[in-house]
Structure formats: C-alpha cells, structure tokens
Structure 1
Amino acid sequence: MDIAAIFSEAFQISKTHALQFADKFTPEVLPKNAFFLETGERCNRFSFIASGLVRVYAETDKKEVTQWIGDAGHFLTDVSSFLFRQPARWNIRALSDTTLWTLSYTDYLRFEAELPEWNKMEKRFVAKCFALMESRIFDFIALSAEERYERYFSMFPQHFNQVPLQYIASVLGMSAETLSRIRAKQFS
C-alpha cells in the first residue's frame, strides 16, 4: 500500500509533501476487540486504516449507539478529542484484526512548523469531516429508513457480510428489527 499516494490524493497535495507527511506515520496492529480509544480518554492518535474494521460507538443509559463503521481507506480518530483535547465521547474498537498507519499527537503538532502544506491539509481534513457530518444529518432528515439502507448498502456492501447487523442498524438510526424487515423486502 502506497500510503503517500493515498495522502496525496486525499489531501490534494504534492507527492513530495505527501511523502513528508507519510514518513511521520508508523504501522500499528490493533487486534480484534482491542480498543483504539475508550470514552473519557484523550485521543492521542490520528490513524489511517490500511486493513480491517473498527466500530465507533457510545454507550448511553439505554443502549449502545454506533456512530460509524470504519474500514480500509478511511482515517480514524475522535476529532473533538484529538483536535480540541477534550475527553473522548466515543469508544473506538476493532471488529477484526486491523492494521493502521498512526500519527502521534506530538508529531501532528510539529507539522505546522515542518510542513509548508500542513495548514492546507488540515483544513481539507476538517472540511471533509464537516461535509460527511452534513451528509449524515441530511440523510436522517430527508431520507426514509429504506432510502438510508439503500444508500449505505450501495456504499458499503461488504459491511453486510462482516459487521453484526445491529451495528449497521444503529449507524442507520433504526432498530435491528426494522433493518431486518427492510432487508427481507429487498430480497423478496
């Protein structure tokens, strides 16, 4: 996996700057069921998922709520905790053995002085996070449960063979029973 090429495309920066950026990341293996982060901790890592699956979720008084299922090709962190040094709201746990490329918070802070393109890269990352959040909010407001299912399935069909369905249902803002009903309709 050419991580520099991925960073060059993701952040729209030159290959030279992407190589400088990638050079600060170290490989890390997160075994199945291991935590990347637990609620209340401060997130000190910004990672790129090379392989595997992770679940971002929170526990409320009544239930667990899955915010996101991450797989290869996505970045992983608790944005509020990492950038603003707040205690993490989310648990982040491996659903399978997961290989990451990880940047420490200390190295992240050094980038501003060392990497001329850093502010531009950081701005793009935060903007992408915001755009994804806007898209999720729109989906919840404007789409029916069936439409949310169809959109998710078109984007992440592999999750339906690798992730417990109750987690996917939670990401989609529905009960496992509703997801099962929708899936049964799709296959009938």
Structure 2
Amino acid sequence: MQNLDHLLQNYFGTLSHEELSVIQPYFREEKLAKNDFFIRSGKICNRLSIVKTGILRVYALSEDGKEVTQWLAQENFLLTEVSGFFFDQPSRWNIQALTETELLTITKEDYIKLCHDFPRWSEIEKRFIMKCFSMMEDRIFTHLSLTAEQRYNRYFDQNKSLFTQVPLQFIASVLGMSPETFSRIRKRQVSNS
C-alpha cells in the first residue's frame, strides 16, 4: 500500500522497505459514514488510526452542557483517544466523522503484537510520542501567547480548507473563542482580503 507507506513515514520517521513490510499488515482499512462515531465518551478506545480521507471532530460536553471541540482531524492526521488506547481508561472525548471517512487502523491487540514482533517499534513509538508532545506544546503556547486574531490567522493559514468544510462554531471552539468573537475576526479578515 503506497499510501500507507507515505503515511507511516510521515508519522513514524524514516523506515526501510523491510520495516514497512513488517508494519503494513497490522493496519487495516476502515470506513466511517458521515456522523458515525469512532469512539463515544465513556467507552474505552481500542484502536489507533491514520486518516486517509475525511474530517473527524474530537469533542466533549462541558459542565454546563456545551459542546467543546478540542480538535478537527483531517487527512494524514493520527487519531485515537490516548487515555483509552494506552491506559485502558474510559474516553473523555467523542470522536465523530463529519464527512465520509477512510482510515488506516491498527487495533490495540495488534499494536501490542507489533511491539513484540518488531523490536525497533519502541524507538519509533518514542519519536512519534515526542512529535505529538511537541505539537501539544505548540498548541498550548499558541493559546497562551497569541491574541484571538493571531490564533485565527495562524489556524486559517494552516487549515484553509476546513473553513469551507465544517461548521465555523467548531473552529471557533478549537481556537478557544466564542462564536461571536470568531465571527467578528472573520468579518475583519474577509473585508481586508
């Protein structure tokens, strides 16, 4: 699977042809229809996927009953619920397909087998976790150090296509702003274009 090779290289770093041939059989294609759930809160997530096509929303309900969108996963993104997949804890998040979605998925059982069958996996996994940690640090720093308008501009530059494919209140939530603030900034940006 040429596409899987590319996605694995993108997430896990440089892998030889032999290493890819060991890893590939553990990943299977999976499809979600629009509005299907990858995982619901309260359930234990038992799979990790790479998004081939489509868009998924990671969200939870706040204490006051409002939906809070934490992330929008799109093509080439890795997808799981970390607490469930790695620690067998019930998911805090719902992950739902916003569009028809194709995934390359490894189950937790196969992930554990891969760790045993491919000793170098722990090194690859460590590099991958560090990459994820770096992305999380960057996101936290962005929320703490940039203005709402700067966060909007940065997210727009990195994810232009999402602005026409998902409800804008989801993007506002990802950016940590109210729909009203998001709308004001968006109107300013459109008028300045």
Question: TM-score band, normalised by the shorter chain?
Answer: over 0.9
Alignment-mate amino acid for residue 4 of structure 1: D
Deviation at 1:16, TM superposition (A): 2.0
For normalisation by structure 1, the TM-score amounts to 0.96
Say if 1:19 and 1:6 are closer, same or farther in 2 by CA, change over 3 A.
farther
Give 1:47's aligned residue.
Answer: 49
Give 1:6's aligned residue.
Answer: 7
Please point out which of 101, 104, 107 is paired with 2:107.
104
Rounded Cα–Cα distance in structure 1 between residues aligned with 2:16 and 2:86:
24
Write the deviation string for residues 18-77 of structure 1: whole angstroms up to 9, x where unpaired: 232122111111000000000010000100100000000001232111010000111100
Is the contact between residue 38 and residue 95 of structure 2 (CA under 8 Å) also seen in structure 1?
yes
Please point out which of 103, 126, 145 is paired with 1:142.
145
Give 2:91's aligned residue.
Answer: 88
Give 1:133's aligned residue.
Answer: 136
Deviation at 1:80, TM superposition (A): 1.7
Q: How many residues align?
A: 188
SS in 1 for 2:110: helix
Deviation at 1:103, TM superposition (A): 0.4
Deviation at 1:17, TM superposition (A): 1.2
Q: Gaps (5+ residues) in structure 2?
A: none
Give 1:23's aligned residue.
Answer: 25
Alignment-mate amino acid for residue 61 of structure 1: E
Is the contact between residue 43 and residue 82 of structure 1 (CA under 8 Å) also seen in structure 2?
yes
Q: Does 1:183 align with 2:186?
A: yes
Give 1:172's aligned residue.
Answer: 175
Q: Gaps (5+ residues) in structure 1?
A: none
Is the contact between residue 5 and residue 15 of structure 1 (CA under 8 Å) also seen in structure 2?
no
Rounded Cα–Cα distance in structure 2 between residues aligned with 1:154 and 1:7:
25
Deviation at 1:82, TM superposition (A): 0.5
Rounded Cα–Cα distance in structure 1 between residues aligned with 2:157 and 2:166:
15
Rounded Cα–Cα distance in structure 1 between residues aligned with 2:31 and 2:118:
27
Rounded Cα–Cα distance in structure 2 between residues aligned with 1:19 and 1:59:
41
CA RMSD of aligned residues (A): 1.1
Q: What pairs with 1:69-88 in structure 2 (closer than 5 Å)?
A: 69-88=72-91
Alignment-mate amino acid for residue 85 of structure 1: D
Percentage identity across paired residues of the two chains: 47
